[in-house]
């Protein structure tokens, strides 16, 4: 059994979905016109792949429930589906709190704007409504797509990759592939590795180049979308 090579994974998919671990995969999918929707893991930090697999296995039950959320250290830009939001006064870009889901160990970094004299929980109902829409869209799309490509940035082990693949196979009736980008310190260029797992493509990429457009161009060029969803 041979793992997919990068050129073999290129082609047309009904949908291409980011599984984190940060915003880069989604931002660059949009830059390449390969993204039509916001999905639950687009704009969060999800460093642990086993936690992502657990979240998917649980069908997002309990994800970002208020009782499991707390503010943690960190500030990022306040974004609306990846676009910066500016305040009315002077057009200054707004910042956002880091809010962690302590059950799944996933951090919202762009959803809760810092507003003077207002607690972050004030905007929770609107955030949860938006999140539920993205979750429902994710489940709907993967359930009726004949071909799906998932993209995940971050160091990953063979065991964790197989666990994710097994979890997704229980959710998706059609065919799917997984593309892992594994950042390696000191690496120049892109290096493919072979784990011998059918349906998985793993490429090592420079750890200091997550915002390098040329790297993303190399990885994403040759991918297209075949289907339009309403």
Longest Cα–Cα distance in the chain: 59
- Mean pLDDT, range 119-137, rounded to an integer: 97
The residue ranking higher by pLDDT, 63 or 79, is 63
**Residue 1: pLDDT over 60:** no
Pairing of β 200-206 and β 191-193: antiparallel
Note the pLDDT tens digit of each residue in 152-174. 999 899 999 999 999 999 999 99
- Mean pLDDT, range 57-67, rounded to an integer: 98
Note the pLDDT tens digit of each residue in 44-58. 999 999 999 999 999
Pairing of β 95-101 and β 106-113: antiparallel
The whole-chain average pLDDT of the chain stands at 93
d(CA 108, CA 148): 25
**Residue 131: pLDDT over 60:** yes
Q: Calculate what percentage of the chain has a pLDDT beyond 90.
A: 83
Pairing of β 191-193 and β 69-77: unpaired
Contact 169, 161 (CB under 8 A): no
- Mean pLDDT, range 212-221, rounded to an integer: 94
| pLDDT at residue number 82 | 82
Strand partners, 163: none
Q: What 3-state class would DSSP assign to 43? A: coil
Tokens standing for residue 41: 């893991």
| pLDDT at residue number 3 | 66
Exposed/middle/buried for residue 135 (C-beta within 10 Å: 0-12, 13-18, 19+): middle
Predicted confidence band at 70 (pLDDT cuts at 50, 70, 90)? very high
**Residue 122: pLDDT over 60:** yes
| pLDDT at residue number 210 | 75
| pLDDT at residue number 4 | 80
Q: How many residues does the chain have?
A: 230
- Mean pLDDT, range 80-106, rounded to an integer: 87
Half-sphere exposure of 139 (CA within 13 A, CB side): 12
Note the pLDDT tens digit of each residue in 164-215. 999 999 999 999 999 999 999 999 889 999 888 999 999 999 987 678 899 9
Query: If you compute the radius of gyration of the chain from its CA atoms, what whole number of angstroms results?
Result: 18
Predicted confidence band at 90 (pLDDT cuts at 50, 70, 90)? low
d(CA 127, CA 123): 6
Contact 151, 173 (CB under 8 A): no
The residue ranking higher by pLDDT, 83 or 162, is 162
d(CA 64, CA 78): 18
CA distances (Å), 69 to each of 66, 81, 84, 131, 224, in order? 5, 21, 24, 14, 37
Q: Where are the domains of the chain?
A: 6-72+124-225
Predicted confidence band at 123 (pLDDT cuts at 50, 70, 90)? very high
């Amino acid at each position: 059994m041979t793992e997919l090579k990068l050129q073999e994974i290129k082609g047309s998919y009904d949908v291409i979905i980011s599984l984190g671990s940060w915003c880069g995969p989604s931002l660059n999918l949009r830059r390449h016109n390969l993204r039509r929707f916001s999905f639950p893991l687009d704009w969060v930090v999800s460093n642990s792949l086993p936690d992502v697999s657990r979240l998917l296995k649980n069908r997002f039950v309990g994800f970002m429930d208020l009782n499991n959320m707390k503010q943690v250290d960190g500030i990022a830009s306040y974004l609306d589906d990846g676009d910066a939001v500016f305040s009315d006064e002077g057009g200054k870009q707004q910042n956002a709190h880091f809010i962690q889901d302590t059950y799944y160990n996933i951090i919202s970094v762009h959803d809760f704007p810092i507003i003077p004299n207002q607690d972050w929980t004030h905007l929770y109902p609107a955030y949860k409504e938006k999140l539920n829409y993205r979750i429902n869209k994710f489940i709907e799309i993967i359930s009726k797509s004949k071909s799906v490509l998932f993209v995940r940035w971050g160091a990953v082990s063979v065991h964790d990759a197989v666990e994710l693949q097994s979890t997704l196979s229980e959710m998706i009736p059609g065919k799917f592939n997984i593309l892992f980008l594994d950042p390696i310190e000191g690496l120049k260029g892109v290096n493919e590795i072979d784990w011998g797992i059918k349906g998985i493509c793993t490429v090592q990429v420079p750890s200091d180049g997550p915002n390098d457009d040329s790297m993303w161009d190399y990885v994403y060029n040759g991918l297209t979308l075949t289907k339009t969803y309403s």
